[in-house]
Chains A and B, each alone.
Chain A
């Protein structure tokens, strides 16, 4: 199974600050890199995804930056809010295209 390495494992950010989570991936047959957000007791939900014909994708306060040569992508959360406190997972598609290989997750806490 392909690896997606995610860091940091946990992150504490003050309200209004910028949260940054990084991922590195191995070779993949599919250029599709999603980020999922999971709240306690809930299933993961797609937050934002990038197909790297672009180096950056922005949706509201959430931005993915992608560096294909370095095989890295990152999630930036601008103006972080307490409601953003959750676990965030980066992922890549398996070679079959039918499953997601997830990073180990980042537990984000945004303090008031």
Chain B
């Protein structure tokens, strides 16, 4: 009965490769997010989708491309991986935007770029 799930949990890859992280939520939420947590544990919003529409794109390099095939899924594709992309990526969802709504986070995907 996992609420927000992500795959894979760990991802180790070489510089220059392309990789994807998948996220699914079974909470019936309309809004989904991607956050990046760096080595100092700082959490920063990357993208937000509401009803499959992109709402927020926070100055993320265009090597990162989110895709939302339906309201329950928000995948993250990363092209030409760089060393600086190494981080933990969290998917989250909430019932709606507009404030006051709890965001539920997935378990994270630890990406290591060698």
Q: Which residues of A line the B interface, CB within 8 A?
A: 1, 30, 32, 34, 36, 38, 41-46, 49, 51, 87, 89, 93-94, 96-102, 104-105, 107
Q: Which residues of B line the A interface, CB within 8 A?
A: 4, 31, 33, 40-45, 48, 50, 55-56, 58, 90, 92, 97-100, 102-108
Q: B51: shortest Cβ distance to chain A, in Å?
A: 12
Q: Which of A1, A32, A98, A105 contacts B55 (CB 8 A)?
A: A98
Could you tell me if A96 and B56 are in contact, using CB atoms closer than 8 angstroms?
yes
* CB within 8 Å: A-B pair count: 71
Could you tell me if B99 and A44 are in contact, using CB atoms closer than 8 angstroms?
no
Decide yes or no: A93 and B99 within 8 Å by CB, A1-B58, A99-B56 being known contacts: yes
Q: Once bound together, how far apart are the Cα atoms of A102 and B33, in whole Å?
A: 14
Specify which chain B residues have a CB less than 8 angstroms from the CB of A38 in the assembled complex. Answer: 41
Could you tell me if A98 and B50 are in contact, using CB atoms closer than 8 angstroms?
yes
Q: Once bound together, how far apart are the Cα atoms of A105 and B42, in whole Å?
A: 7
Closest 10 CB pairs of A and B: A43-B105, A98-B97, A30-B99, A99-B45, A102-B43, A98-B48, A97-B98, A97-B99, A98-B55, A105-B41
Q: B39: shortest Cβ distance to chain A, in Å?
A: 12
Could you tell me if B45 and A100 are in contact, using CB atoms closer than 8 angstroms?
yes
Could you tell me if A94 and B98 are in contact, using CB atoms closer than 8 angstroms?
no
Could you tell me if B97 and A96 are in contact, using CB atoms closer than 8 angstroms?
yes
